[in-house]
Amino acid sequence: MAALTPLQEALELILSEATVLAEAESCVLKDAAGRVLAQDIISQHAVPGDDNSAMDGYAVRAAESGQALQVSQRIAAGSAGTELAAGTAARIFTGAPVPPGADAVVMQENCLLEDGLLTLQKPVVVGENIRPRGQDIAVGSTVLSAGRRLQPEDLGVLASIGVAEVPVRSRLKVAVLSTGDELVEPGQQAALKTGQIFNSNRYTLQGLLNNLGCEVLDFGLVVDTPQATADVLSRAAAAADCVISTGGVSVGEEDHVKSQVEKLGALNLWKLQVKPGKPLAFGRVAQTAFFGLPGNPAAVFVTFALLVRPWLQRCQGATPTEPLRLPALADFTVGRAGSRLEFLRSRVQVRDGKLVASLHPNQSSGVLSSVSWANALAVIPPHTTIEPGDSLEVLLLDQLIR
């Protein structure tokens, strides 16, 4: 029996086969969320563009703060003032440029205006309540680096420096197919027959790939025969940058994916020292990368998050990001030590200032509702038992899906 491959060894092997496949293209800013930057963004503008007021008040010379000042001008956001004359102050509003000659802004609550003369109620410090030019972004600075997956807040930053179109990587084309004569598509028939199940993996993968900005090519359900499997694999490989199948990579007589991949290309990895997710395959069909994920839906989620996602990130030109491993306390028992690295669907919450992990009561790899219930995976090393109060590490699910 072939030895099971440890997770880290499998990840290193998979990433060694990953190269940037996505071409650079231009994308309008409003559509750029989730896309991967193809080059560094260097700012041509300072933000803010002028020294401006951080609040409503009066622009003054700090050295004149002990004397009554004549209000000589009014400056609203979007307008510009003139040189501040000696012995005067300028009424100014939040975001308005500070007039030349002024070196402080006094908030209006600390000012008294009587008979046209302004008296300051508190001492004034040079630079008080002024946001200097370039405080946020300086001209020539690198605002965002190539390889970053753009988040909504990044679009706002790019807009603030006048960027209307962004150089991004094109979307990877990922072919998805499902194997198993027991599978039925939702809505395809009124009721399931004995032995049938609805195809949930197709929709889990669609959502995960959408989160990563991939273009999904859906090759549907594959009939459980060697020829049908070979035909679909060949067509999918010709159309996509990557092929992902679910099911058919175990050792049953009706599991044809593994054997057909070996005939059409090569299989570099099979069987992980991971639970759930032992029957995972990685290789190529012709020259196209291939991932054969398990058929059980919770195992599909775990293996995609831990192994497929980093490969896709690198091929998109993004830097693969390792999920944070956070320390937590167990409120559960694992009484029997396993031989594989386990990822248990868990829910973490703060109790008495500490992060505590609870387990879903059913950890079967066929129970997808456990993933929907969970917000984390509790990491249990091989040959380890757990008692309530023991320390362990957890991976947050929201870091594993984007």
Span 169-227, pLDDT tens digits: 999 999 999 998 899 999 888 889 999 999 999 999 999 999 999 999 999 999 889 99
**pLDDT at res. 3:** 86
Which residue, chain included where needed, has tokens 């030590």? 337
Which residue, chain included where needed, has tokens 């390889």? 147
Helix ranges restricted to H, 129-200 = 152-160
Tally of CB atoms within 10 A around 277: 29
Q: What are phi and psi of 27, to 5 degrees?
A: -135, 135
Alpha carbon of residue 111 to chain centroid:
48
Query: Which contiguous run of DSSP H or E holds residue 208?
Result: helix 201-211
> For the chain, which ranges sit under pLDDT 70?
1-2, 250-254
The CATH class for the domain spanning 25-45+142-169 reads alpha beta
**pLDDT at res. 333:** 97
**pLDDT at res. 402:** 82
Fold of the CATH domain 325-399? Beta-clip (2.40.340)
Distance CA 68, CA 91 (A): 14
For 7-22+171-315, CATH number out of 3.50.50.60, 1.20.1440.230, 3.40.980.10, 3.40.50.300 equals 3.40.980.10
Distance CA 297, CA 277 (A): 10
Closest CA to 203 of 233, 173, 183, 226: 183
89: helix, strand or coil? strand
Strand partners, 24: 169
CATH number for the domain running over 52-131: 2.170.190.11
What are the residue ranges spanned by the domains of the chain?
A: 7-22+171-315, 25-45+142-169, 52-131, 325-399
For strand 215-222 and strand 274-275, is the pairing parallel, antiparallel, or unpaired? unpaired
Dihedral over Cα of 239, 241, 247, 248: its sign: positive
